[in-house]
């Protein structure tokens, strides 16, 4: 077929028009409360959006997401839009274009925060309105956009992401061609009502890319990595980490006759082939369920935990040795080479104090292990990520030392633990740290101050101690500030007032009645 072929009055680019489309339920038959499929659909609730998506033919993918990323006892962890995670993965890859399909407000927010976190590349956007969404013209616009962008001189791949409204409306990205002019087309759905956290959305894209790359490898020869192929068996590292950590891990693998492979999510497409061509995969971040499924389909072994602290490093090197059938003497050599240095670094600047720890990165359990081996008392660890089998060894180690580990932890869980324990330091997300400072408890933001440090091996052993001890030493400053601002208003009286604020209790009572009525209606709808 020519690139542009005319079928009747329709100009087509590919064979999409010949593909059988899964038909959903007639909209006239949709249950009451289904999400509207227009530009206002993003204001619907999660349940309504999911119901609409299933009626539009998205049940298979939502069922897979429910299996890969199970919900916790509460509605959802309070982290940013999940699509932020997959967007960051795409924006970090060389020769990869990213295109978003979603409400303009969502796209604005995602592009803003992506560039705030250092993205140096534009984000594509396919706008829509009620008409183009309902009639299917949005899909045609997306198809036209990727055909226009597919320049092999500029791109290896184009990632197209459906946000909430296009997913709920059934925009079929699966009908996009697999490649155009040699440029790979990867379409994913990342709805907020299907993916609990932005950390797990990284796995959605990483898994989709690995799936594509695995099929390419199965079909025939693929491009060699730019850096060349390692002369030793490699260990692929799964999960984002501080740039120095893969180097440190490579050094610890050398006595075993092994080398560190690529880090997934990767920085360029060819690294995906190298990642698949490994002897085993180290699930440094254990929640990458879709990626692990692709590695297992390729016949690769999975090793949980990470070389963190003395005990973690010893156990991890032994597990890697078992995965590659390395001689015990070589494993012992690696232990002797690195464990004394780790123990010495941990003892050099001990941490004396109680710390509560929470976050949504997926490395919270590893950081807790490192802090405990540094001497800290860590009674509570909360992570927004789910529990998987690859985190079990970390859970067992922490619980044996009296740590309460909470998966799918909510903001309320993390704050309640901090308020009950009253630690010397609270490490957590921004609202947790804010709450801690209100209570005159020193706080550290996990993402910016903890994740931005090496954690693995001898290099990571002493990396946290200085910043943690410095933060705990500031307790007197918080006490002074609390004393200074004592009596300053809270709630209605917060801020600067020349006189007493007008509280309007009549207005408050009226609004409360409205809220109570809405809650009763929602409860009744749930029962229906």
Per the structure block, which two tokens stand in for 487?
Answer: 């009596």
With residue 514 as reference, give the H or E element that holds it.
Answer: helix 505-527
What's the mean pLDDT when you consider all of the chain? 87
The answer to whether the bond into 358 is cis (omega within 30° of 0) is no
Contact criterion met (CB below 8 Å) for 58 and 233: no
Strand, helix or coil for residue 96: strand
CA dist 413 → 148, 408, 422, 432 (Å):
48, 9, 14, 10
Judge whether residue 524 has pLDDT over 70.
yes
First to last CA, the chain: 51
Q: What angle, rounded to 10 degrees, do the helices at 309-324 and 392-399 form?
A: 150
pLDDT value at 457 more than 80? yes
Tell me: pLDDT of 9 over 80. Answer: no
In the chain, which residues fall in CATH 3.40.50.1980?
Answer: 44-196, 234-342, 349-483
Residue 113 has pLDDT above 60, yes or no: yes
* Lowest-confidence pick of 68-77, 265-274, 293-302: 68-77
**pTM score, two decimals?**
0.84
pLDDT of residue 455: 93
CATH topology of domain 234-342: Rossmann fold (3.40.50)
Q: To which CATH superfamily is domain 349-483 assigned?
A: Nitrogenase molybdenum iron protein domain (3.40.50.1980)
**Where is average pLDDT lowest: 118-122, 235-239, 436-440?**
118-122
pLDDT value of position 36: 44
CATH among 3.50.50.60, 3.40.50.10490, 3.30.365.10, 3.40.50.1980 for 44-196: 3.40.50.1980
- The answer to whether 426 and 433 are in contact (CB under 8 A) is yes
Tokens of 285: 């971040």
Measured between alpha carbons, how far is residue 109 from residues 82, 169, 415 in Å?
12, 21, 27
Q: Which tokens is 373 given?
A: 């081996």
Structure tokens at 253: 């693998």
Taking residue 324's Cβ as centre, other Cβ atoms within 10 Å add up to 18
Furthest C-alpha separation in the chain = 79
Scanning 29-71, the segments in alpha helix (DSSP H) are 46-55, 59-68
pLDDT digits (tens, 9 = 90+) for 406-419: 999 999 999 999 99
**Residue 37 confidence (pLDDT):** 44
Mean pLDDT of all residues in 429-436 = 91
Average pLDDT over residues 31-56: 65
Instruction: Write out pLDDT tens, residues 138-179.
Output: 999 999 999 999 999 999 999 999 999 999 999 999 999 999
User: In percent, how much of the chain has pLDDT > 70?
Assistant: 89
CB-based contacts of 483: which residues, under 8 Å, 6+ apart? none
């Amino acid at each position: 077929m020519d690139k542009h072929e005319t079928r009747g009055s329709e100009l087509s680019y590919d064979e999409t028009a010949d593909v059988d489309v899964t038909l959903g339920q007639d909209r006239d038959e949709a249950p009451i409360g289904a999400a509207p499929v227009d530009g206002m659909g993003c204001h619907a609730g999660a349940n309504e959006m999911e119901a609409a998506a299933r009626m539009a033919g998205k049940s298979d993918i939502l069922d897979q997401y429910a299996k890969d990323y199970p919900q916790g006892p509460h509605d959802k962890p309070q982290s940013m839009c999940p699509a932020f995670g997959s967007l960051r993965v795409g924006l970090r890859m060389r020769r990869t274009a990213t295109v978003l399909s979603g409400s303009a407000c969502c796209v604005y927010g995602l592009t803003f925060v992506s560039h705030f976190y250092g993205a140096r590349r534009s984000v594509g956007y396919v706008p829509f309105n009620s008409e183009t969404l309902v009639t299917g013209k949005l899909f045609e616009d997306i198809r036209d956009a990727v055909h226009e962008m597919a320049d092999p001189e500029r791109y290896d791949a184009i990632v197209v992401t459906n946000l909430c409204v296009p997913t709920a409306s059934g925009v079929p990205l699966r009908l996009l061609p697999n490649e155009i002019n040699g440029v790979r087309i990867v379409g994913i759905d990342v709805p907020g009502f299907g993916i609990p956290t932005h950390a797990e959305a990284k796995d959605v894209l990483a898994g989709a890319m690995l799936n594509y790359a695995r099929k390419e490898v199965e079909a025939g020869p693929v491009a060699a990595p730019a850096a060349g192929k390692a002369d030793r068996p490699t260990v692929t590292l799964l999960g984002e980490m501080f740039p120095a950590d893969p180097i440190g891990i490579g050094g610890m693998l050398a006595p075993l006759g092994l080398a560190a492979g690529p880090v997934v999510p990767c920085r360029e497409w060819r690294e995906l082939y190298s990642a698949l061509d490994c002897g085993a995969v180290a699930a440094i971040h254990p929640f990458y369920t879709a990626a692990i499924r692709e590695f297992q389909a390729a016949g690769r072994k999975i090793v949980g935990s990470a070389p963190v602290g003395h005990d973690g490093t010893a156990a991890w090197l032994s597990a890697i040795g078992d995965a590659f059938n390395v001689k015990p003497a070589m494993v012992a050599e690696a232990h002797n080479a690195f464990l004394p240095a780790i123990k010495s670094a941990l003892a050099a600047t001990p941490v004396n104090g109680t710390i509560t720890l929470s976050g949504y990165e997926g490395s919270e359990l590893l950081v807790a292990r490192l802090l405990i081996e540094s001497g800290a008392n860590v009674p509570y660890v909360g992570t927004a990520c789910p529990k998987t089998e690859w985190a079990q060894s970390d859970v067992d180690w922490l619980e044996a030392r009296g740590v309460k580990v909470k998966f799918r932890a909510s903001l309320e869980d993390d704050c309640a633990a901090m308020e009950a324990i009253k630690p010397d330091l609270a490490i957590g997300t921004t609202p947790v740290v804010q709450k801690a400072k209100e209570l005159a408890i020193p706080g550290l933001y996990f993402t910016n101050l903890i994740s931005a440090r090496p954690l693995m091996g001898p290099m990571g052993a002493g990396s946290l101690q200085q910043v943690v001890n410095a933060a705990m030493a500031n307790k007197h400053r918080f006490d002074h500030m609390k004393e200074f601002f004592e009596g300053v208003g809270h709630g209605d009286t917060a801020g600067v007032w020349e006189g007493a604020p007008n509280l309007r209790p009549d207005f408050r009572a009226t609004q409360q009645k409205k809220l109570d009525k809405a809650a009763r209606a929602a409860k009744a709808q749930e029962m229906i």
